Amino acid sequence: MLTIGMLARKTGTKVQTIRYYEQIGLMPEPGRTAGGQRRFDEADVDRLSFIRHARQLGFSLDAIRELLELSDHPDRPCKEANAIASRHLREVERRIARLEALRTELSRMVRLCRGGRVADCRVLQVLRDHSECLTDHEAAGSERAD
């Protein structure tokens, strides 16, 4: 049996993340000692490793929940897992297309900048006037982190 710290080290997952996965139901409620400490077994290591790998591949928590549900029922058809992975692949391809469009636009902005004064800066001009852009930022999915 493993403590939460041992599980964290064994899977390369932060303790807080493990607790979060428990809270949202991706990880089952662990067994506890008489003193109330969580105890995990190899099945928990496998499940957490599965979740961690799926997150590294960019799957959403909802998709991971669906995949875990399938994996908990090994006699179900694999086509459901394939559909989830195919859906994720399409989203990854859309993101790549958006990133390629953004790279093209940024490259053009940098290439057309002649240096000199800020008043004549091509980068700043393009950022002020969307009509100067080659890409449709809505279609390109300009995602903001602010």
User: Which residue carries 């700043």 as its tokens?
Assistant: 124
Report the alpha-carbon distance of residue 141 to residue 146 in Å, rounded.
Answer: 15
**Residue 129, pLDDT above cutoff 90:** no
The pLDDT score that the predictor gives to residue 48 is 98
**Residue 12, pLDDT above cutoff 90:** yes
- Span 11-39, average pLDDT: 95
This prediction has a pTM of 0.75
Q: Are 30 and 44 in contact (CB under 8 A)?
A: yes
Q: Are 51 and 7 in contact (CB under 8 A)?
A: no
CA 17 to chain centre: 14
Report the alpha-carbon distance of residue 66 to residue 104 in Å, rounded.
Answer: 36
- Span 70-85, average pLDDT: 94
Q: What pLDDT digit, counting tens, does each position of 132-142 carry?
A: 666 555 544 44
Q: Are 105 and 133 in contact (CB under 8 A)?
A: yes
* Alpha helix stretches (DSSP H) within the chain: 4-11, 15-23, 42-56, 61-71, 79-112, 122-128, 137-140
Residue in 65, 64, 44 with CA at minimum distance from that of residue 54: 64
Report the chain's mean pLDDT, rounded to a whole number.
88
Kindly give the interhelix angle for 42-56 and 61-71, rounded to the nearest 10 degrees: 140
The pLDDT score that the predictor gives to residue 22 is 96
**Residue 44, pLDDT above cutoff 50:** yes
**Residue 93, pLDDT above cutoff 70:** yes
**Residue 143, pLDDT above cutoff 50:** no
Report the alpha-carbon distance of residue 27 to residue 47 in Å, rounded.
Answer: 7
Q: Which CATH architecture has domain 4-60?
A: Orthogonal Bundle (1.10)
Phi, then psi, of 39 in degrees rounded to 5? -135, 135
